Structure 1
Amino acid sequence: MAQYDTIGTVGVGARAQIDAGLRAHMNKVYGLMSVAMLITGAAAWSISGLAVTTDAAQGVAQIGAGEYLTSFGQTLYASPLKWVVMFLPLVLVFAFSAAINRLSVGAAQLFFYVYALAMGVSLSSIFLVFTGTSIAQTFLITAIAFAGLSLYGYTTKRDLSGFGTFLVMGLIGLIVASIVNIFLASSALAFAISAIGVLIFAGLTAYDTQNIKNTYVQNAAMGNQEWLGKAAIMGALSLYLDFINLFMFLLQFLGSNRE
């Protein structure tokens, strides 16, 4: 692999410098990702709290025993606005990828956090479908699995680049199938999508981690701090998406529906 060839051709001092820089780079990637996760979680929890009430006088539609959608919740989840909420994160991530080269590091980081906020609004509906306990348990399981997979991608000597094309093709098929199933509402297709989704994003977590590492090692000698800053943000975005999607697909299996 390129990373090992690059490191192997430099001296001990340069190798130590690259290793130190790589650790700092990965710490930044995980730090950015963690902040984005906090924004997403806080937004999802806050929005769901505004969308649901136990006061029948303030509710406009009953969704469970003693629980009602507020007018805000009705607008967000049961009006045409729901399509905007659903697809806005997808639009933003494509816009972000297209605009990253024209943005400053600060603007790119702000865009990333705005995207995390939009994702939180989009995911807020899970609190209406699943119990808070099962959401928390699934999040913990996802975090443990993600940590293990990312650690594997960082430490393995095996070249995972060959899996990249396969995983990306699978991801495209998964997106198409998910969009189609919005209209078909097939439980069998939903189960298949969830099972395949877990496998794809488990693989992408390891692959993306190794790719972030390789990209840094191959370009560290340039010393372009703006490029490195943007690379950290894009790496954080990749791992953030891996985590979110792994969590959502696992939730389909592990989540307990609200009564």
Structure 2
Amino acid sequence: MEPITYQSPEQVQARVNAFVASVYNWMFIGLTLTGVLAYATFQVPALTKLIFNTPGVFIGLIIAELALVFILSSRITTMKAGTATGMFVVYSALNGLTMSFIFAVYAKTAIFGAFFATAGTFAACSVYGWVTKKDLTSMGGFMFMGLIGVIIASVVNIFLASTALYWAITYLTIAIFVGLTAYDTQKIKEMALTQPEDIGASAVRKGAIMGALHLYLDFINLFLMMLRLFGGGRD
């Protein structure tokens, strides 16, 4: 019978720090890949024309993105770590292709302003989610229901074309992803603190990828809503 080993508080903290660092590193990689590909795609008029002037291509990309998120979320425990990582990278790349439109619609000053506003808001929410003693579980459920509501409202507003509803959706969506950022950060903290001592490297990587995906989605959606606020046509 093998002797039972216990980790010191320092060892536990080191394991937690390593996991959290991995989550944010992968989120940063995903955001960087999305940003670089979005700008690179915008620089190739033939490619942007293919994506946005060909409904089948654009819709196909959106469906592929949704499918990747669904598969990652529902099958992460059964897939290999390398597969999960590859799917996250592919998703980030596809999102870069579809987000290239922002460089055609918004001025660079608006894009940079929205990015820095998003980064600051995201950082503040992450810090709150990490340090708060309040259980944010109920808030996470409430925010998710609110997200479903704004999605339905957005679809309805396609037909109504209401300016008032447009701005209401914008502010509500910002509030929702502010809450989800804090909620997801707290979940990642709990995941890091409750990892078994004998957890394998593969399970750690998959947990980090899922955490990165949630934070990535929070950041991207918050950024897109911030862009609406900063507005401004192209230079």
Q: TM-score, normalised by structure 2?
A: 0.90
Give distance in 1, aligned partners of 2:128 and 2:191: 17
Task: Note the 1:1-259 alignment, pairs <5 A.
Answer: 14-51=8-45, 71-80=46-55, 81-258=57-234
In the TM superposition, what is the alpha-carbon distance from 1:184 to its structure 2 partner? Answer: 4.3
Give distance in 2, aligned partners of 1:183 and 1:116: 30
1:160·1:210 contact (CA, 8 Å) conserved in 2?
Answer: yes
The answer for the alignment partner of 1:59 in structure 2 is: none
Q: Which has the larger radius of gyration?
A: 1
Q: Which moved more, 1:23-32 or 1:216-225?
A: 216-225
Give distance in 2, aligned partners of 1:179 and 1:146: 26
Q: Deviations over 1:133-160 (max 9, x none)?
A: 2101110111111111111111222221
- The 1:192/1:222 distance shift into structure 2, 3 A limit, reads farther
> Which amino acid is 1:249 matched to?
M
DSSP 3-state at the match of 1:220: coil
Q: TM-score, normalised by structure 1?
A: 0.82
- The 1:176/1:88 distance shift into structure 2, 3 A limit, reads farther
In the TM superposition, what is the alpha-carbon distance from 1:202 to its structure 2 partner? Answer: 0.4
Structure of greater relative contact order (alpha carbons < 8 Å, 6+ residues apart): 2
CA-based RMSD of the aligned residues comes to 1.9
Give distance in 2, aligned partners of 1:101 and 1:133: 42
- The count of aligned residue pairs is 229
Structure 2: gaps spanning 5 or more residues: 1-5
Identity level (%): 40
Give distance in 1, aligned partners of 2:44 and 2:157: 28
> Which amino acid is 2:146 matched to?
G
2:114·2:226 contact (CA, 8 Å) conserved in 1?
Answer: yes
Give distance in 2, aligned partners of 1:185 and 1:232: 40
